[in-house]
Chains A and B, each alone.
Chain A
Amino acid sequence: MELEEIAKNIRKKIFLMSYRAGSGHIAPSFSCVEILVALYFKILNIDKNNLNDENRDRFILSKGHASSALYSILAKKDIIEEKLLDTFCQKDGILGAHPEAHSIPGIEVSTGSLGHGLSFGSGIALAGKIDNKNYKVFVLLSDGECQEGSVWEAAAFASHHKLDNLVAVVDYNMLQSLGKTNEILSLEPFNDRWKAFGWGVKEVDGHNISKIIENLASLPYTNNKPSVLIAHTVKGKGISFMENVPLWHYRIPNNREEIEIALKELGLDRKEFEEALK
């Protein structure tokens, strides 16, 4: 299957599981679909039959609220069972609105509280250096998350310790919970901030899968430095009324009109939708 086709499928899954549960973060998940597809289908060295391999690459979803995107990917990669997706956020299920490492195969770190992933990832990267391992650590951050001071403590640590096996990808959709990042607490000049913290920096269209792959194929960006890829994205990408509208951060469509539009734009037909909700 073409990667674009997979991304399209993932969006359908995210929508269905969130709609069924009446919970979850659709727009934040839609924002990072292409990033996750690129990572899981072309970049990460993970063997689904040996998830505890000491040499595996690590992926940390630091913006844990995009769990539905990650679960859909893990199902597509056969790391978790596809039918688990139907239990998202429901009684007796293990897939919550934020991922938990102790119970879900393929989840490296329990997240959901923002600003933890880069520190945790730095620790794994440092251990890799100490133990002479060749794995890489990828951490997906969101822009609002980068307002947490802890992110910058980790950024300073990683460059000081020359953790060139650490890669941050920022889902830079310029929106957070209550509004535009630039209006609430600007992170600009974002690229220069990372540079000043001693990181190699690249930027990319975060919905262009081949461009993302291109930018993650050769790492580190600069010798002896951690790398950060700033991915320019659209929050809610895939459903027009959600795109760039803060209100949709944590909201599930509930009226007929919204659902009709969503189905049409995601390429889901009514029957498929009703079938899936059974």
Chain B
Amino acid sequence: MRNAYISALYDIAKRNKQVMSLNADIGAIVFDKFKSDFPDRFVNVGVAEQNMIGIAAGLASCGKIPFTYTITPFITARTYEQIRVDVCLQNSNVKIVGVGAGLVYSTLGPTHHAIEDIAIMKTLPNMKIVSPADPIESKMATYAIAEIKGPVYFRIGTAGEPKIYDENYEFTFGKGVELKHGDDVTLIATGSIVYDTLMAAKELELKGISTRVINIHTIKPLDKDIILKAARETGAIITIEEHNLEGGVGSSIASVILEESESQIKFKRIGLNDIFCSYYGTHQELKTHSGIAKEDIIREVINLIKLKDKQVK
């Protein structure tokens, strides 16, 4: 996703001279082409993330379109108040790009994991949040957010995510995507875990459970229609995210359903259960340890279907 983002940004910058990349000493090699072809429009501000956001807001006030980039906690949590005042309060045209969504920086530990970024970014007025599921979506979404005037938080993975989409995929900001139709239960996921969710759905299908899968790539504003339709048609929803349950996308979806759905529905969130992940190993091993792996999704679906059946009887 990272490389897809950077090559799209390069392409956008080629056509729009206002586009800039601001980095806080992260992005070795991968930014080399951007840096050498647009030397005035690439600035490594140093290891100084708070300063980077303020600078970006200043640049934006002069018509520039800065894309700021570093590891997620350092660009969301470290800089939170700069984003709040300099970017969101003044509706500045600054893009906040956090690399390393969820637990993907597995061995780097809790300081580098991104598990509360969605929560803190979504609570800011004017902020929009986009969280692509694969490299193609990362690329298409980069073009889309460049067109949006105002703050956007873009939550991307790193490298090597499996592909979900092909090159013909068209990304529409604010619109969830039904990846698989189904009638018994709906799985709504965001980010690279959409892939695990799809794999789980395929296995569930073999067990005779008709499973719908929705990729909710835009977390704010949420696509209420696709959520309410799923609630109506399947009566059971599970949300899946590589993020803390507190304040995650599941909690946003729960609010929509509770306030606006007229159907009786069964609901469950899958995510990190309010813990830091002080566990090491591969990304997959961390997901398993944290209870957000494919097997966990399958188990929760089966449990929820049982509850739903009971309710019908």
Q: Which residues does A use to contact B, with CB under 8 Å?
A: 21, 23-24, 64, 87, 89-98, 100, 102-103, 110-115, 144-145, 147-149, 176-179, 184-185, 246-247, 249-250
Q: Do A112 and B108 touch (CB < 8 A)? A: yes
- If A147-B46, A184-B46 touch, does A89 touch B28 (CB 8 Å cutoff)? no
- If A114-B47, A148-B47, A149-B48 touch, does A249 touch B28 (CB 8 Å cutoff)? yes
- If A98-B112, A149-B48 touch, does A176 touch B278 (CB 8 Å cutoff)? no
11 cross-chain CB contacts under 8 A: A64-B111, A87-B280, A91-B285, A98-B111, A103-B278, A110-B111, A112-B111, A148-B48, A149-B48, A178-B23, A178-B27
Q: B281 — which chain A residues lie within 8 A by C-beta?
A: 89-93
Q: Looking at the complex, which one of A91, A100, A144, A178 makes contact with B278 (CB distance below 8 Å)? A: A100
Count contacts on B: residues with CB < 8 A to the other chain.
27
Instruction: Indicate if B29 sits at the interface (CB-CB under 8 A).
Output: yes
Instruction: Indicate if B235 sits at the interface (CB-CB under 8 A).
Output: no
In the complex, the chain A residue whose C-beta lies closest to that of B27 is A178
- If A91-B285, A113-B74 touch, does A178 touch B280 (CB 8 Å cutoff)? no
Instruction: Indicate if B181 sits at the interface (CB-CB under 8 A).
Output: no
Closest chain-A Cβ to B234's Cβ sits at a distance in Å of 36
- Complex: how many Å from CA A93 to CA B280? 6
Q: Do B109 and A98 touch (CB < 8 A)? A: yes
Instruction: Indicate if B196 sits at the interface (CB-CB under 8 A).
Output: no
Q: Do B112 and A112 touch (CB < 8 A)? A: yes
- Complex: how many Å from CA A92 to CA B109? 13
Q: Which residues does B use to contact A, with CB under 8 Å?
A: 23, 25-29, 44-48, 50-51, 73-74, 78, 107-112, 278, 280-282, 285
Q: Do B280 and A96 touch (CB < 8 A)? A: yes
- Identify whether the interface residues of A are mostly helix, strand, loop, or mixed: loop
Q: Looking at the complex, which one of A21, A102, A149, A176 makes contact with B25 (CB distance below 8 Å)? A: A176
- Identify whether the interface residues of B are mostly helix, strand, loop, or mixed: loop
Q: A92-B280, A247-B29, A250-B28 are in contact. List 15 more A-B contacts (CB 8 A).
A: A94-B278, A94-B280, A96-B278, A96-B280, A98-B108, A98-B111, A100-B109, A111-B111, A112-B112, A147-B25, A147-B47, A149-B48, A178-B26, A178-B44, A249-B28
Q: A94 — which chain B residues lie within 8 A by C-beta?
A: 278, 280
- Complex: how many Å from CA A179 to CA B45? 12
Closest chain-B Cβ to A232's Cβ sits at a distance in Å of 20
Q: Do B109 and A178 touch (CB < 8 A)? A: no
Q: A90 — which chain B residues lie within 8 A by C-beta?
A: 280-281
Q: B112 — which chain A residues lie within 8 A by C-beta?
A: 98, 112
- If A145-B47, A185-B45 touch, does A178 touch B25 (CB 8 Å cutoff)? yes
Q: A176 — which chain B residues lie within 8 A by C-beta?
A: 25, 46-47
Q: Do A144 and B111 touch (CB < 8 A)? A: no
